[in-house]
Structures are given as structure tokens and as C-alpha cells.
């Protein structure tokens, strides 16, 4: 993911650490892009960093509980 400077986020802990340090300075657009590129979700920036981190952890928990794209059956019969 590229922002003003290049960063690499490879797991949920790095995402949380990045947001802990940079949440207040992120624009709505940058926040949405980070969530889309890391978790593949669309989300708006929340009022507080704490709310955002809780929401991200909830997204991560839900995403982790689902089968990966290549593990899904072709037909749901």
C-alpha cells in the first residue's frame, strides 16, 4: 500500500500498530483505502481511534472465521 511514504502492513498487529500511531492524521480517504487494501472491506473513519480499532478487530474476527475464496464450494446446494 502506498501513502505519502511507502509502508508495509502484513498482519493485523501491524495494522493496529500503524493506526495507533497515525489515526488522527489519516484522512477519510486514506483510512478507507487502508481498510480496503488490508482487510478487503469498505469502512468510513470513525470518531475515535478506539472505536476504529474495535471495529477492525471485529472485521478481522469475522473474516478469519470464513473460508478463503479458494476453499468455497462452487455450488451452495
Domain coordinates in residue numbering, the chain: 12-68
Integer Cα distance of 40 and 73 in angstroms: 20
Q: What is the pTM of this model?
A: 0.75
Whether the CB-CB separation of 16 and 56 falls below 8 Å is answered with yes
Report which DSSP code applies to 67.
P
| 76 Cβ contact partners less than 8 Å away, ≥ 6 residues apart | none
pLDDT digits (tens, 9 = 90+) for 28-69: 999 999 999 999 899 999 999 999 999 999 999 998 887 666
Amino acid at each position: 500500500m502506498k501513502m505519502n511514504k511507502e509502508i508495509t502492513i502484513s498482519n493485523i498487529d501491524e495494522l493496529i500498530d500503524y493506526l495507533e500511531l497515525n489515526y488522527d492524521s489519516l484522512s477519510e480517504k486514506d483510512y478507507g483505502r487502508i481498510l480496503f487494501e488490508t482487510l478487503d472491506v469498505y469502512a468510513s473513519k470513525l470518531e475515535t481511534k478506539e472505536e476504529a480499532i474495535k471495529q477492525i478487530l471485529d472485521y478481522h474476527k469475522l473474516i478469519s472465521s470464513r473460508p478463503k475464496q479458494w476453499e468455497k464450494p462452487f455450488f451452495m446446494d
